[in-house]
Amino acid sequence: MVDQGALYRFRLMPGERRSIFQFLFAGDSFGDETGRHHRETVQALTHIKALAASRDALLAAANSDARLSNLLFSAAASAAVAAEEKADILRIRTATEQIAQFLLEMEVRLSKRGIIDLPMSRSQIADYFGVRIETVSRAISAFQREKIIQFRGREQRRMVIRDKRSLQKLAADASDFDYWSKEPFRSV
């Protein structure tokens, strides 16, 4: 379980492509495989502190501690829900909608006093959604141009969401949003 910091869970695909399944933050668990071998790799994005226990020790403790058993069940259920939600996002949303929803999620999970410090690069965000880095960069640049987000610092990983309502609208339906255009986005 992640106690502090950020990691990501991924699998290397043919051609050295990386498929990122999940970004992990404080309170998230990983390595919960049912078999003997792990199908994915976990890599740190920041300095991390993780809590570890063997599967056998965890199951033995859960047998005698109802609170731990409920916690483990809750973590497994949350992981299943997160996987279903990501599958829905990838199946029916455009890249712009996916990136808008991602920034909203990162605000909930990472924001401190309204500032989001993204530990992941645009390349890693692209690998998470299975799109090209240029697609992520164009969408984020358009959000900035439309004053939906504002960067703090040169790295463009520290940001503030300035217009949450427009970002929520884009996450739900970006059909009117053209990140190629110089025309402003019309929020209704």
Q: How many CA atoms does the CB half-sphere of 20 hold within 13 Å?
A: 20
Report whether 95 contacts 122 (CB < 8 A): no
Q: CB neighbours of 130 closer than 8 A, spacing ≥ 6?
A: 19, 90
Judge whether 2-90 and 94-172 match in fold. no
Q: Hey, where are the domains in the chain?
A: 2-90, 94-172
- Can you list the positions of beta strands (E) in 66-138? 116-117
Report CA 72 to chain centroid distance, whole Å.
21
CATH architecture group of domain 2-90: Sandwich (2.60)
| pLDDT value for 115 | 95
| pLDDT value for 185 | 57
Alpha-carbon distances of 179 from 3, 93, 97, 111, 133, rounded to whole Å: 38, 16, 12, 25, 14
Query: Using the 8-state DSSP alphabet, how is residue 37 labeled?
Result: S
Alpha-carbon distances of 32 from 47, 52, 53, 72, 73, rounded to whole Å: 22, 11, 11, 10, 12
CATH 1.10.10.10 given to domain 94-172: yes
Averages of pLDDT over runs of 10 residues in the chain (188 residues) are 93 87 89 74 94 84 87 77 70 87 95 95 95 95 95 91 95 77 54
**In this structure, what token pair is assigned to residue 6?**
């950020």
| pLDDT value for 84 | 77
What does pTM read for this prediction? 0.78
The radius of gyration of the chain from alpha carbons, rounded to an integer in Å, stands at 18
45: exposed, middle or buried (Cβ count in 10 Å: 0-12, 13-18, 19+): middle
